[in-house]
Amino acid sequence: MLDHTRKEASCQAEGAGSVRELIGFLGDRYGGAFAAFLLDDETCLFLINGAATATLGGLDAPLRPGDEIDVLPFVDGG
C-alpha cells in the first residue's frame, strides 16, 4: 500500500467527517486509483481507534478530531 502513498505511512486528514470522506481526501492526495482500491470491500479493513468500521457504520462511520484510522490491506497466503 505504501507504493500508492509515495511511501508515506501516515497523514493528517483534518475535516473528514466519515470514513467515506477520508477516502475522498486520500483519493485527492494520492490519486483516484488509490481511492478505488480503498473502496473495494475485498481489499481493506478500516479501524477507528482499534474498532472495525463494520461495527461502527461502515464507510459512513463518523470520525471525530483525534481519531486514529488504520487501513489494513487483506493478505492472501498461508
For helices 32-39 and 19-30, the axis angle rounded to 10 degrees is 150
Angstrom distances, CA of residue 49 to CA of 4, 7, 26, 61, 69: 23, 23, 18, 12, 6
Q: Residue 10: inside a domain, yes or no?
A: no
Structural domain count, the chain: 1
pLDDT digit string, tens, across residues 39-69: 887 778 899 999 999 899 999 999 999 999 9
Q: Residue 44: inside a domain, yes or no?
A: yes
Q: Comparing 37 with 42, which gets the higher pLDDT?
A: 37
Cβ-based burial of 59 (10 A; exposed 0-12, middle 13-18, buried ≥19): middle
Q: Residue 68: inside a domain, yes or no?
A: yes
User: What's the whole-model pTM score?
Assistant: 0.80
